[in-house]
Structure 1
């Protein structure tokens, strides 16, 4: 596509996204957005139900580290589109359930790996201190280990969620719903503006998902709040400027 075609595609995409009818009509952007979010949320929830408890059990026991690494590497090597296609020819057919299962399989590795690492990295001295205070295993899990492992667990969930939101676009290629239908329709009609509009919507949704989950993770993590964006305060007159390590010069 030449420069003139690119400019035309951007113009067509802008016109498409600014037409209220394209948003509100039956099967329009809002309907596709709801379907995209529903599929993504179900996939992430299913993956979390499977991966997080498994990661907790393996991380606390200290066993299965090699299996976690192998599973993570193998599952990442399997193309999601191939898995979607395989499930489409099973009795599940071209259903939303098949899409959710394929995306959940794609979301399990980062959640499982981060949960396992998060619980393995809890300081042994902290565990011993909690045990010496008379805490049961359940109390240690909820009051000590899980709060300390939460940042890594949340990172795994956030990574999986963003990947699922972006990858759910492929569901349209096997008859699924979501914003990928706009891109698929654009390819079918050779409409570069429609393709670009769909890509912009998916990218914006993925970025918004990342931002929301970062803020939620920062709010739920115990200890001092570490927000992703903090204003930098200028030092007062006569006050030494801190170095990168926080120690005044």
Structure 2
């Protein structure tokens, strides 16, 4: 009960909602880092996944490299980049991109490869070729898996972006790092709660995107498959 009271008092303190160290400012920083890393990851992973999925060339190598990247500890990658490039935003974004690329890449590749050959044959019979098949058939059918990969990457990035605080960058992780330094449990818990809420909000955003970007028939098929 004492811990809960301290957490409520921390959120209720007007000082937590104003200035460069206030919750709105730290939240904005965290969203910026996360969104930047996710966009860069998508720009890297989606085209590669579409290419390998559509052509069937390099799929094994792509999956192997993605799984290897998944095994890399993000905090370790961050500190290695800091040693090479110095403290700043670049090491943080690089580490987050290394974390986010694998799920996007693998899901994009698998989503395209999962399109039934019969559908491809039907598209070819309608006169579609190459890029048309990819953009008008394979991408829409693969969209549910692509969005799952994006959602997984986004939630991981939001949770892991707290590492930015360890190299002197802002974000919600500052509350956790500073709280540890001050032995302020309320600040640590406050920062953690904010990160969890942001992760939940991210999941809800992708649920909305799914309703907009995925055809109703595919949504119904996915629900039936469950």
- Interval of TM-score (by shorter of Structure 1 and Structure 2): over 0.9
Q: Aligned partners of 2:73, 2:218: CA distance in 1, in Å?
A: 38
2:124 aligned partner: 131
Q: TM-score, normalised by structure 1?
A: 0.85
Q: Which moved further from structure 2: 148-157 or 93-102? A: 93-102
Contact kept? 1:219, 1:225, Cα under 8 Å: no
Number of the residue aligned with 1:42: 36
- Residue 80 of structure 2 corresponds to which residue in structure 1? 86
Moved over 6 A (4+): none
**Partner of residue 102, structure 1:** 95
- Counterpart selection for 1:8 from 2, 21, 27: 2
State yes or no: 1:67 paired with 2:53.
Answer: no
Shift of 1:176: 1.9
Distance 1:180 1:15 in 2: 19
* Residue 161 (structure 1) aligns with: 154
Q: Which residue of 2 aligns with 1:181?
A: 174
CA distance in 1, matches of 2:42, 2:184: 38
CA distance in 2, matches of 1:10, 1:68: 47
The CA deviation at 1:136 is: 2.6
- How far 1:73 sits from its partner (Å)? 2.1
Question: Deviation per CA, 1:65-85, whole angstroms, max 9, x where unpaired?
Answer: 322332222112111111111
Contact 2:141 / 2:218 at 8 angstroms: preserved in 1?
no
In the TM superposition, residue 25 of structure 1 has moved relative to its aligned partner by 2.2
CA contact (8 A) 2:161 2:171 kept: yes
Q: Please give the alpha-carbon distance, in whole angstroms, between the structure 1 residues aligned to 2:141 and 2:92.
A: 34
Note if contact 2:92-2:163 (Cα within 8 Å) is conserved in structure 1.
Answer: no
User: Are residues 1:29 and 2:12 paired?
Assistant: no
Tell which deviates more after alignment, 102-111 or 72-81: 72-81
CA contact (8 A) 1:8 1:193 kept: no
Indicate the SS of the match to 1:178.
coil
The answer to whether the Cα contact below 8 Å between 2:27 and 2:171 also exists between their aligned partners in 1 is yes
- The one-character-per-residue Cα deviations of 1:179-210 (angstroms, maximum 9, x if unpaired) are 00001011001111111111000001001101
Deviation of 1:225 after TM superposition, in Å, equals 7.8
User: Which segment is superposed worse, 66-75 or 35-44?
Assistant: 66-75
For structure 1, the 5+ residue unaligned runs are 1-6, 231-243
Q: Hey, what does 1:222 align to over in structure 2? A: 215
Secondary structure of 1:42 counterpart: helix
CA-based RMSD? 1.8
Structure with greater Cα Rg:
1
